[in-house]
Amino acid sequence: MQARHGNRLSADMVADVTSRLTAGGRRARLFAAFALLSTSLLLSPPGATAAPLPFGATQAMSAADRMRIETESMAVLDAFLASFNARDPVAHAATYHFPHFRLARGSMNSWPTAADAESAHKQVFKQLPSTGWARSQWLSRDIIAISDQKVHVNTHFQRLRADGSIIGVYNSLYILIRQDGRWGIKMRSSFL
């Protein structure tokens, strides 16, 4: 693949992802679609104002609207991590929009409903303590694209043991959308 030029994807990148979208099974198509979305946004310099990004990633808005959307989005991420640390699958699933998707460890997972996410997280919350995990905390959260309906947040977080020692430090991309009158996390891509 060639590098992106300005705010446009190269023809080689589009051809590669298009071939992946039309080949393979459902997971391969989901992975390719998420890769195209992530690549198109992560390779854009913050605040880029040249040609529009694919998918309308950045939208002109007032400073007050931007501040409100940023505050509401960060509140969802705060609730996400607080419910994760509390090992509360119901409150955790309430931070999502469904179907919800997560790309991690080379695999795309999806939860069609809140009940599916709750069930999966009950298992996660049972297994995580065996790794020494006691809690997680944000190190940074940077909004890299924003509109009145969608926000992309590049995050950096760590998992900690009960004594405060670090298990690991990780990066993730969170995609939040406004749906049914509220912000929620629609997709995540994590490097774990």
Q: How far apart are CA 185 and CA 92, in angstroms?
A: 10
Number of helices and strands in the chain (H, E)? 5, 6
Looking at residue 61, its pLDDT comes to 87
Angle formed by the axes of helices 11-22 and 26-42, to 10°? 160
Provide CB contacts within 8 A for 20, sequence distance 6+: 28, 29, 31, 32, 35
Looking at residue 146, its pLDDT comes to 96
Looking at residue 3, its pLDDT comes to 35
Beta strands in 36-115 (DSSP E): 96-104, 107-111
Q: What fold, for 63-191?
A: Nuclear Transport Factor 2; Chain: A, (3.10.450)
Q: Could you report the average pLDDT of every consecutive run of 10 residues in the chain (192 residues)?
A: 37 50 54 49 44 50 94 98 98 98 95 98 96 97 96 98 97 97 97 88
Looking at residue 12, its pLDDT comes to 52
Looking at residue 192, its pLDDT comes to 83
Looking at residue 135, its pLDDT comes to 98
Looking at residue 15, its pLDDT comes to 52
Say if residue 33 is exposed, middle or buried (CB neighbours under 10 Å; 0-12, 13-18, 19+). middle
Sequence ranges of the domains in the chain: 11-56, 63-191
Q: How far apart are CA 126 and CA 71, in angstroms?
A: 32
Looking at residue 56, its pLDDT comes to 42
Full-prediction pTM beyond 0.75?
A: no
